Structure 1
Amino acid sequence: MENEPRTPDRPTPHGPPARQLPAELTSFIGRDTELAAVERLLELARLVTVTGPGGVGKSRLALRAATLAEAAGGFADGIRLVEVSGVQAPELLGHAVLEALRLTDSTARPPVDVLTEQLADRELLLVLDGCEHLVAACAELVDALLRAAPRLRVLATSRESLRSPAEHLLPVTPLPVTAVPGGTADAVRLFADRAAAVLPEFVLDEHNAEEIALLCHRLDGIPLAVELAAGRLRALSVEQIVLRLDDRFRLLTGGARGALLRHQTLRTTIGWSHQLCRNVYSGLASRSSPVVSSSKRPSTSAPATPSRPTRSSTCWTSWSPSPSCCGWRPRPARRPAGSPDRGGAPAASGSGCSTRSASTAASGSAPPGTNRGCAAATGTGTWAWPPGARPSGSAPGRPRPPSGPAWRTPTSARRWSSA
């Protein structure tokens, strides 16, 4: 029949179904423990999710485990790979699975209905690779398929858990950088293998083993970073690569042209993870990333700077914890009569505060940000605008963060180091 939907290939009397997984292009190094764990979990659970940071080798591990399962013939209806990383919208996920399974349907039914009907009696392993950007859609689809197909198994890779009821997690860590007695570390073996592909005369020996071990240690054993560093041997020596690791985002580029864009450089790999973060997490990471010298900062047991300033614990002008957020002492400031603060209480005496530079201290002039109404300086826990400081359109008792090019970020605000 022309309109009859196609079903996955079944074993024939002449042998198992044709190979459905892509062949490996490079050698697989290490991961014996993880491969055994995947095989064990697939026997116990119906959904196994391989998780880990970007570039750690989740996709390669899942593909290798699926290849071994295919060779063992453990699934009567074969193994199918769905490249979820190439799907851009949640509504296209079902169509991508249909295409990977080679199923067609001439009706207008939703893809999930077609999948649940066609996979109801199939013994199949479905590999979903790269689910982190569609984690909610993948979880919903997998849950529906597992409920409709009792003999279906799903092996997923994602930087985030799917949080499905049937899910079993397998966290993947970087390759070991410390060698066992009488052996070579897996990260060093990976570097040597990829380096030999770039330089045929490259040999791992006692002359370069120490430098390669240091290089892999500096790269934390992340397979993607190790492979990118090995590709740099076309122009640099191992010693030169180690010396340039302080600027590793500029150094570790030039991945395989056929790979995904986010797997071609270390910067795009980390940027993809940052892009997937929710706004609250990415904002927290942006505020936590600057490292400020603590030589003149008083020690404090206060927690890290919050994502937004609090009313009584943060100075707007310096974005640092109070009470010792700056080197200037508060001077009295009085609010005009008749302008109540946020709580309706009388205006408290105090002023804004800010740290000052050495040139400002020498001249005796007030630094920028003085008299901006810092609650930490008043010690009252209420906000009070000094005369003429309240911008138009703002509440009388609730100041906003200082504006201007010098006060946009915590990093720029801390340029005014105390003298």
Structure 2
Amino acid sequence: MSAVGLDPVSVIVAKRDGHALDDAQIAWAVDAYTRGEMAPEQMSALLMAILLRGMDRREIATWTRAMIESGSRMDFSGLRRDGRALPTVDKHSTGGVGDKITLPLAPLVASFGVAVPQLSGRGLGHTGGTLDKLESIPGWRADVPIDEMTAQLESVGAVVCAANPDLAPADRLLYALRDVTGTVESIPMLAASIMSKKIAEGTGALVLDVKVGSGAFLPEIERARELADTMVELGERAGVATSALLTDMDQPLGRAAGNAVEVAESVEVLAGGGPADVVELTVALAAEMLTLAGLPDADPAAHLADGRAMDTWRAMIAAQGGDPDAPLPRARHTDTVTATETGRVRRVDARAVGDAAWRLGAGRSRPGADVQAEAGVIVHVATGDQVRPGTPLFTLHTRTPERFDAARAALTGAVTLADPESDPVAAPRVIERVRFGA
């Protein structure tokens, strides 16, 4: 692409001075950086100007479209089963601690005859990655060619796999730059990053799980609401039926944070059990996804209870080379953190638990680093529980026991206690729904 009169400095200066960039400036900048004609330091300056000056909805939509056009698009409109067209719906979470929801959710929704093409990623820092969790299942593979993906969607209904590198390649380049320039938190760039990949993916509908709280990327509800509203509008204007749920991530989701330990908890949910908050959020997101897919009267809880979601899970894992009956990796070393005072649990800090799991080896500090499948934290208490000195609070799992001290340090003060006679109640996981024009 070439554009008369456009150059990096003029675009940077326009945004630095608070002007809205026009469509030509945005398209040129994204394309020029993707092709290597705009230097990293120049794009860094533009990203910082966007962080500080913001973008209006038109600018964000244009930036998103430019990133989509930097690569290829997927198309699932031809999916069929028994001669019937299969509706497609996906879910995206902004990430949290113990957020294993994709694992039970994808097969649950697929058990209703809906195709769920779930392109997922790996973890970085205190938030876990769906692919890292599933790779703890012996034999399971994340890389699925498009022809196999299509066949699996038609036969099983759900696939969870790594994204094709040709989907919005500009986003991959820009995210790497944002990650090292302090510009990740930009709402316009967050929205464009997430939605460029999801729109390019070709799903017909999308539900966004936007986390709020200490373990979330955006702890403040106002910023989380702004991100959700922006993404919903981007999706709807691109022809993807889109809605969002703002969900609580002030406390860990469920009792397990890590990789294999979260798979085990997900299987409990699929078997009709599991922690109440994981079930609550799984069912709420499933109902939202099924509504957008044209099944507003579907009862997700029924398919957890009668085993149909579990059947789809087993088929999904096996289709990607995994053994759903194989034992999951177990840590060679464990350590238990106990209470030192008496009281009732008011709160378990999600960020502290996520940091501890990361320090135990469940997460990575740089892209591409290895993770331990068996590493993680089991949380033994929840809001309202009575504890006294010696009550187990956390069990730490790792293959490298020298990590225990750092993990224990991360958990210092993680459990806030109330008076023993009080009766604190945990907040519901779903805070509010965001829909276009509502």
Larger strand fraction of residues: 2
Larger Rg: 1
Q: Give the TM-score of the pair, scaled to structure 2.
A: 0.25
Higher relative contact order (CA 8 A, sep 6+): 2
- TM-score with structure 1 setting the length: 0.26
